[in-house]
Amino acid sequence: MLAAAGVLAVLLLVVFVVPRLLYPPLPASRFDGVASDKRIELETNRRKLQNDARATLLQALAGGVLLLGAYFTYRQLLITREGQITDRYTKAVDQLGSEHLDVRVGGIYALERIARDSPDDRATIEEVLTAYVRDHAPWPRPPAPPSLPAIIHRLASFVRRQRSVLQRRRATDAAGQASPGQSDDQAAGPPRPAADVQAAVTVLGRRQLPPDGLRLLDLIRADLQGASLDRANLQGAYLGHADLVRASLGGANLQGMDLEAKLQGAVADAATRWPDGWDRARAEARGVRYRD
């Protein structure tokens, strides 16, 4: 009601008050000795000027209303967009706590999408993902108390290994080609990060600059054994006491980072960008292998 009354008051001022203030009626003394037809002409011109002023003011008022409406519409769109991003962020973070691996991986990639759509949230999302990696892949790995399913699984694995060893020995005796000393662990290759941890590291490696510049990636004491970090942008990351044994670092950007990490068996190439003071010789001295 107050808004409607205010609009009505402005219209009354524009239509009736302001034009009369701009072009007020001339006093009767100014028309002494003026012919009646000339007097009518002057009065007609005065009213025409008032009408022109009234039309101009109404047009300006209409333009102002349009601009004001556009501004409020824009503000409403921003508020709606912020609300949508907040809802998406909340749902993605909730997914990170799911018991199902595929749901957690989906939440990680949802956070990446939000970081692309909202530059102001990139730094926060980076902190969430680095905390996720540190929490789900700590180094050294904490000892886990054995549970009944774990004990059953280990016994089943032991039986399978013994059966596999027996089968290989028989095959060796028969053909003389198999390697009797190879264990299942060696055949399986080096340990790899869990799918959700690898997804989080992949997203961090594809990060874009936040509005306030590159931020520190805190991956201290992270277990990244065998992680795929090819072409990852880890510039300025902190990997103090992290485990990068057998990690793939081809084309990765490691400049400006603290690389006090285990690197034995990590794989690099000519495109890998090392921190200042590092070169191939120093990397190889730390146990890095090069693929040429």
Positions of E strands within the chain = 217-218, 237-238, 267-268, 289-290
Nearest to 125 by CA among 172, 86, 70: 86
229: nearest Cα among 261, 188, 185:
261
Identify the pLDDT of residue 268.
94
Question: What are residue 233's phi and psi, to 5 degrees?
Answer: -95, 90
Say yes or no: 124 and 66 in one domain.
Answer: no
Please tell me whether residues 85 and 135 are part of one structural domain: no
Q: What is the pLDDT of residue 145?
A: 63
Residue 79 lies in a domain: yes
- In this prediction the pTM is 0.64
Residue 105: per-residue pLDDT: 95
| pLDDT for res 47 | 82
pLDDT of residue 142: 64
Residues 64, 207 within the same domain: no
Q: Which residues of the chain are under the pLDDT cut of 50?
A: 177-188
User: 265 and 130 in one domain?
Assistant: yes
On whether both 77 and 131 belong to a single domain, the answer is: no
Q: Among 286, 244, 254, 250, which residue's Cα sits nearest to residue 271? A: 250
Q: What is the pLDDT of residue 29?
A: 67
Domain boundary among 71, 89, 107: 89
Give the domain range for residue 234.
120-141+190-290
Does residue 157 fall inside a structural domain? no
